[in-house]
Chains A and B, each alone.
Chain A
């Protein structure tokens, strides 16, 4: 079946540190991959996405590359800010003839201090 595994948190960093959150997936076919972010008290927002192998998604300084050979989609940012503190979810889109579902990882809490 389809599943997503991401590194457990919490991840605690100082401002301007480098961030990596690992994500690997298991899927039949070629899913699209997503990173969503959830700020405290809010719903999820799409951070970035990639729809095929070797695609790089990027937004707000965050990047992730769809690696089919390692079934990975690791999230990176070169210099984190306090405002990046949130929960980050890796997800894949499992689509069949019936419809679509997002399969999420368990989420990684990022805490950035100044």
Chain B
């Protein structure tokens, strides 16, 4: 158990809908990261938050947004969903902002768009 929790575990929805994925980092970790894992694209970095502020952005679509709240949990919002958004979404956390700090991964949320 990494200490990172993600809810829900599974999510099935229809095209055009909007969903919210939730992540609670390990106690004491200030950085939260979101990754998307799909068969064709592999594991891709989406976005990083540190202590409530957005810090680094990867291949995140404009239809996707995220935020980190004062209690440090984070939410990833996916809107106008398309079939291709079906994937496993991982949240990870680390102690610090940068450097070779280990990122601890949650169990993931499997999103299926029908």
User: A103 contacts the other chain (Cβ, under 8 Å)?
Assistant: yes
Please give, as numbers and ranges, the residues of chain B lying within 8 Å of A42 by CB-CB distance. Answer: 107
Q: In the complex the two chains form, is A100's CB within 8 Å of B42's CB?
A: no
Contacts of A98 in B (CB 8 A): 55-56
In this assembly, does A101 line the interface, its C-beta being within 8 Å of a C-beta of chain B?
yes
Judged by a CB distance under 8 angstroms, whether B71 is at the interface is: no
Which of A44, A95, A105 has the most chain B CB atoms closer than 10 A to its own CB?
A44
Q: Number of A residues whose C-beta is below 8 Å from B? A: 24
Tell me the interface secondary structure of chain A in the complex: strand
8 A Cβ contacts from B25-62 to A: 31, 33, 35, 42-45, 48, 50, 55-56, 58
Query: How distant is A10 from chain B, measured CB to nearest CB, in Å?
Result: 14
**A102: CB under 8 A from chain B?**
yes
Decide yes or no: A99 and B105 within 8 Å by CB, A104-B42, A104-B43, A107-B42 being known contacts. Answer: no
Cβ-defined contact, A103 with B45, below 8 A = yes
CB within 8 A of B100: which of A43, A89, A93? A93
Q: Is B98 an interface residue (CB 8 A)?
A: yes
Give min CB distance, A56 to chain B, whole Å: 15
The answer to whether B98 and A101 have CB atoms under 8 Å apart is no
Instruction: Decide if B42 touches A105 in the complex (CB within 8 Å).
Output: yes
Which residues on the A side are within 8 Å of B42 (C-beta)?
Answer: 104-107
B103 contacts the other chain (CB 8 A):
yes
Distance from A49 Cβ to chain B, minimum over Cβ atoms (Å): 6
* Contact between chains at B33 and A102 (CB < 8 Å): yes
By the criterion CB–CB under 8 Å, are B43 and A107 in contact? yes
Interchain residue pairs A-B with the least CB separation, the first 7 = A99-B56, A99-B55, A32-B100, A43-B105, A104-B43, A101-B45, A44-B105
A-B contact pairs, 19 of them (CB 8 A): A43-B2, A43-B4, A43-B90, A44-B90, A44-B105, A45-B105, A46-B103, A93-B99, A95-B99, A99-B50, A99-B97, A100-B55, A100-B56, A100-B97, A101-B33, A101-B45, A101-B56, A101-B58, A107-B42
